[in-house]
Amino acid sequence: MTNMKNIILKNAFIVDPSQKINALGSIIIKDKIIIDLILNKNMTFDKNNFNVIDCKGYLLCPGFVDIKCHLRVPGEEHKENLSYASHSAASAGITSLVCMPNTDPIIDNISMVELIQRKARKESDVKIFSTASITKKIQGKDLTEFGLLKEAGAVGFTDAIKAVDDATVMMRALKYASAFDILLLQHPEEKSLSKSGSMNSGVLSTKLGIKGIPEEAEVLQVDRDLRLTEMTNGKIHFYNITTAFAIDSIAAAKKKGVKVTCSTSPHYFTLTENDIRKWRTYAKVSPPLRNKKNMESIKKAILNNQIDCITSDHSPHDTDSKRLPFEQASPGVIGFESLLPITLKLINDNNLSVERLVELLSFNPSKILKLKSGTLKKRRPADLVLVDYKKNIKLSTSLIKSKSNNFPYENINGRGKIIMTIVDGKIIFNDRSFNIK
Amino acid sequence: MKSKHLLSIKDLSIADINNILTKAEKFLDKKNKKKNSFSDKNIINLFFEDSTRTLTSFELAGKQLGASVINMSIATSSIKKGETLIDTAMTLNAMDPDILIVRHNMSGVPYLLSEKVNCSVINAGDGSNEHPTQALLDALTIKRHKKNIAGLEVAILGDVLHSRVARSNIYLLNKLGAKVRIISPPTLLPPKIEDLGVKVFKNLEEGLKNVDIVMVLRMQKERMSGTFVPSEKEFFKFWGLDRKKLNNAKKNALVMHPGPINRGIEIDSDVADDIGRSLILEQVKLGVAIRMALIEQLIK
């Protein structure tokens, strides 16, 4: 869809936590940028110079920023590519993606970061930012060139679904990162406790004859890294928090002033280990799905601000990677299309404001990685999303636009439908509610 | 039986179990043995993991019923043979067998295959999950010696963590009303095993008190990564079954073992070879009858 004209989105329910806005109003977009935001006024606009879109009844907010997804490029293009990922994300209201470096080859040098950027410019409508690995080849030994990689455009550093397990390496990484104001993002699993397991440890793993990963594997990693972060005065983010233990540790560290943030993903507050049923590999994720008690703790932590943001943890896999004995199957689920409906339903079910939703999906993740989006402030990029936020939907594989379809949410209820997604002033998704010239 | 497969003891009702046991007893009678009624039936033993007794037992059972039996042993010690797994099963399925008997070192594989093929699938042992025919033959062995299984005190001793035999036996013995206890070094206990309805003992002498049956398990080194018990010597000293320790059990307590036996590690030869106490060879013998009963049941 091309936009010859500039856009006015009028009569929208505008929510922008960055300016504490929660009101009816209009937004004017010109040359990729938000040029004005007008509240509480019924205005008439010149239809000849503008595409005027009446957004009555819809939520208008900054586009969602997903700081953890696997785009499988390069190396596993049979599972996903940037063009599929972009379509899928756009239809889910996500305007910025932050991809993981555990590709083949690994994103641990400048040319790989540049490759992602070059391909993203060509193939993707949504913004794609690359992370780089903390250690070369994700081997947990030697640090990558943090400074040069940041200059090249890496927005954060992570060893993806492996934690840096050597404490000295992690300590140095945290220290060195502080010279460049770089954020390290850590997978929360202590390796020696988790390496041989493939589901949560408990009576269910005993019944299925599968080696388990104890909940404690998470808090052990988190506790060690919190100590190291405090010691080095560094900063850290934990992805995919799944246990009450880790929530408590992170909350206590925040109270002490440690620079820590954390996130979780929809499957950790929607599914439990019981969803594995009989060795169902679509419910195999890393870290593993936990019991109901932990799932409830994660929900609570999202609602009371202990968890800072929600990522999709989009992890596409082809059928051959999943149609295997449980212990051999690859971990991960498709995540873009379910990100909004599951999160909004949680917010609605607990009578929280839509503002919290926008914080979790846009404002906070953007702030954590210091991206320019996540706000509707004037002169910022026009990355925004229009949502029918009162609509109930049923999640199903038929919604999936990703190249893979390892989707675990068949027939789960969700809330919210994306009406329009705009990136840099360009409409990249329109559910056909509007006829745009 | 409700299902056309036998994947788990959990899928069997008490009536199903009793039915199989009764049928098997019938096959113990020599004159019922050679039956050619299944000469038009094909059975494939698809074994992805080494086996002597189970494979032979299934083969014999099929042949004694007159069926054609094909053994396929596929080594999968080299990992990531996943695609071949489903492909192999689909290929065999295309040849239209009546029963596929599957053993695999990964839990859940027979279940996975049962969803892909048209024929009946029998689980001949999957990872650390289940070994239902072993539990059935164990039940028959106990029944022949103790008449009633209900009310018996049964101790399962040894490496329960890695044992599929233990899990199937726990389900089956609980169904039939026995009281099951587990005696094991703490490192070889599965998490939350008490939730399956068993009592747990870390001390062998204490655990054996008042026990009618002791089921001894082998240390499954092939499934272990790292050290669970410091040495075999130490294991034998504290958890290996010898005459003296067995004296803590009831006077007429009997000893079982699914095999293969590691003498001097989990069991002393003196006990293993005591024909008054040890049912180990009888278990093997009854295994063929159980498998005949099961094959007959599933083919019909």
Domains of chain A: residue spans and CATH: 63-368 (3.20.20.140)
pLDDT digits (tens, 9 = 90+) for A330-361: 999 999 999 999 999 999 999 999 999 999 99
Q: What is the pLDDT of residue B170?
A: 98
Q: Give catalytic status of residue B91 as yes or no.
A: no
Cβ pairs bridging A and B (under 8 Å) = 73
Closest-CA distance of chain A to residue B230, Å: 19
Predicted confidence at residue B222, as pLDDT, reads 81
pLDDT > 90 in chain A, percent: 93
From the CB of residue B197, how many other CB atoms can be counted at a distance below 10 Å? 13
By CB atoms closer than 10 A (0-12, 13-18, 19+), residue B30 is exposed
Q: For residues B243, B201, B210 and B22, what is the CA-based torsion angle, rounded to 10 degrees?
A: -90
Contacts of B104 in chain A (CB under 8 A): 325
CA A10 to mean position of chain CA atoms: 29
Give the model's pLDDT for residue A293: 98
Q: At A254, is the secondary structure helix, strand, or coil?
A: helix
pLDDT band at B224 (very low <50, low <70, confident <90, very high): confident
Which distant-in-sequence residues (6+ apart) come within 8 Å of A236 by Cβ? A174, A183, A184, A185, A186, A225, A226, A229, A259, A260, A261
List of residues 6+ apart from A367 with CB closer than 8 A: A374
CB B160 within 8 A of CB B169: no
Task: State the number of CA atoms in the 13 A half-sphere of B112 facing the CB.
Answer: 28
- What integer is the mean pLDDT of A121-150? 98
Cα Rg of chain A, angstroms: 21
Give the other-Cβ count within 10 Å of B203's Cβ. Answer: 10
Spell out which chain B residues touch chain A, with contact meaning CB-CB distance below 8 angstroms.
79-80, 82-83, 85-86, 104, 106-109, 111-112, 126-130, 164, 167, 190-193, 195-196, 225
Q: Largest Cα–Cα distance of chain A, in whole Å?
A: 68
- B103 in active site: yes
CB-based burial label for A117 (10 Å; 0-12, 13-18, 19+): middle
The sign of the torsion formed by the CA atoms of B134, B139, B144, B146 equals positive
- Interface residues of chain A, partner chain B, Cβ below 8 Å: 196, 201-203, 205-212, 214, 278-279, 320, 323-329
Which of B82, B128, B225 is nearest residue A325 as measured by Cβ atoms? B82
Q: What ipTM was assigned to the predicted interfaces of this complex?
A: 0.90
**pLDDT grade, residue B79 (50/70/90)?**
very low
Question: Per residue in A314-331, pLDDT tens?
Answer: 999 999 999 999 999 999
pLDDT tops 70 at residue A104: yes
Mean pLDDT score across all residues of chain A: 95
Q: What is the mean pLDDT of chain B?
A: 93
CA-closest candidate to residue B166, choices B118, B209, B214: B214
C-alpha distances out from residue B300 to A310, B61, B263, B293, Å: 54, 15, 41, 11
Per-residue pLDDT reduced to its tens digit, A151-181: 999 999 999 999 999 999 999 999 999 999 9
Residue A413 three-state SS = strand
**Residue contact A206–B104, C-beta within 8 A:** no
- CB atoms inside a 10 Å sphere around CB A19: 14
Distance CA A88, CA A334 (A): 10
Mean of pLDDT values over B232-251: 96
Which of A199, A274, A277, A279 is best to mutate for the B interface (most B CBs within 10 A)? A279
Bridge partners of residue A69, in order along the sequence: A99, A314
CA separation for the pair A253, A230 (Å, rounded)? 9
Please name the member of A202, A208, A327 whose beta carbon is closest to the beta carbon of B192.
A202
pLDDT value for B225: 75
CB contact under 8 A, A326 and B108: yes
DSSP A28: E
Average pLDDT over residues B186-200: 97
Q: Which chain A residues are Cβ-neighbours of B130 within 8 angstroms?
A: 209
The neighbouring-strand residues paired with A129 are A98
Least confident range from A286-295, B8-17, B21-30: namely B21-30
DSSP B241: B
pLDDT at A231 over 60: yes
Cα–Cα distance measured from residue A80 to residue A82, given in angstroms and rounded to the nearest whole number: 7
**pLDDT tens readout for residues B32-46:** 666 668 999 999 999
Residue A200: closest C-alpha in chain B: B191
| C-alpha distance across the termini of chain A, in Å | 9
The predicted pLDDT at position A41 comes to 72
Per-residue tokens: B98 = 């009546």
DSSP letters spanning A165-188: --HHHHHHHHHHHHTTTPPEEE--
CB within 8 Å: B192 and A327: no
Q: Where are the alpha helices (DSSP H) in chain B?
A: 14-28, 53-64, 82-94, 109-114, 132-146, 164-175, 204-208, 232-239, 243-246, 269-272, 280-299
H helical segments located in A233-353: 244-256, 292-303, 319-322, 336-349
Q: Which residue has the tokens 């002597």?
A: B52
Mean per-residue pLDDT for B231-250? 96
Query: Is B190 close to A206, i.e. CB distance below 8 A?
Result: yes
Do B196 and A207 lie within an 8 Å CB cutoff?
yes
Closest-CA distance of chain A to residue B105, Å? 10
Angle, alpha carbons A214-A216-A220 (nearest 5°): 135
Kindly indicate the confidence band of residue A437, based on its pLDDT and cuts at 50, 70 and 90: low
Q: How confident is the model at residue B77 (pLDDT cuts 50, 70, 90)?
A: very low
Q: pLDDT, tens digit, for every residue of B166-180?
A: 999 999 999 999 999
Q: Is A110 exposed, middle or buried (0-12, 13-18, 19+ CB in 10 A)?
A: middle
Q: Which residues of A are marked as active site?
A: 313
- Would you state the pLDDT for residue A122? 97
